Structure 1
């Protein structure tokens, strides 16, 4: 049996950025202080609280540059935070918006045409599961419907039950 999994940025990559490592554009992340409004961390998948420092950086959520490997701005806690690791539960911070873009990608990290669309938040899990049920879709990206910023990756997770 399988379920969807909201997959956050790896801890290795988050720590690289938090230690001042360069981003996808070869730049050092910018440090800012959160006002508590609309600053979603892509590692813990929680909003950065007012008064806490965060980073703005250019992120490419793909293994290598290629024509479909979109690069764009994201936010990340400036200090270390715990990686989001829940399986099928949608992170609470995503429930604050009414909709998101979902788009399927192939095993070659290419957009699977016809999979992209703006999906109401209440329908994200069902649409992601539908897309991941297609043979040609290896994973799904969830992006902001307003600014197209990468939010997280959605994968299938195999549940193993011991007998």
Structure 2
């Protein structure tokens, strides 16, 4: 069993309140075109709603594998999404999945582009490997971080 995990609420609230992003900058405020995925509620930000664009590093510390990249968040506080069901934001035809160890480094051989319909199954297979502590899901087109998958 797997669990889809959003960004931590405490960190999201800090940037929604104007705190700095991973690059030390204040998040940009933009208007959603209706296709922007919030990494906290794991829903698409409605067209016309205000959103934040910011740099995010989904790792606890700086190190060579700690990628940083752009994400979207609802500008107003939203409820954390996640759970066992495929989140709304995962609507593209395919995604990159990649396993990471407890040391937050890539576990080589675990990365692949997989069809969205097989995402849960593919993540579960990677989590069967004792070396894998968690899985990241990233955009297959732009490598943007989407969410984390943990053992259920």
- Is it true that 1:116 corresponds to 2:111 in the alignment? yes
Match of 2:45 among 21, 45, 48: 48
Q: SS at 2:10's partner residue?
A: helix
**Of 57, 60, 66, the match for 1:60:** 57
> Distance in 2 between the 1:109 and 1:57 partners?
22
Map 1:122-161 onto structure 2 (within 5 A). Answer: 122-157=117-152
What are the residue-to-residue correspondences of 1:33-112 with 2, within 5 Å? 33-36=31-34, 38-86=35-83, 88-94=84-90, 96-112=91-107
Q: Secondary structure at the match of 1:92?
A: coil
Structure 2 counterpart SS, 1:119: strand
Aligned match for 2:14, one of 16, 26, 39:
16
Check whether the contact 2:38–2:89 (CA below 8 A) recurs between aligned residues: no
TM-score normalized by the length of structure 1: 0.92
CA drift at 1:5? 0.3
CA RMSD of aligned residues (A): 0.7
In structure 1, distance between residues paired with 2:89 and 2:55: 21
Residues 14-43 of structure 1, C-alpha deviations (whole Å, 9 max, x = no match): 10110000000000000001121x200000
Q: Secondary structure at the match of 1:9?
A: coil
Per-residue CA deviation, residues 61-84 of structure 1 (Å, 9 max, x unaligned), is: 000010000000000000000001
Runs of 4+ deviating beyond 4 Å: none
Structure-2 separation of matches of 1:142 and 1:35: 22
In structure 2, the gaps of 5 or more residues are: none
Q: TM-score, normalised by structure 2?
A: 0.98
Q: Which has the larger radius of gyration?
A: 1
Deviation at 1:93, TM superposition (A): 2.5
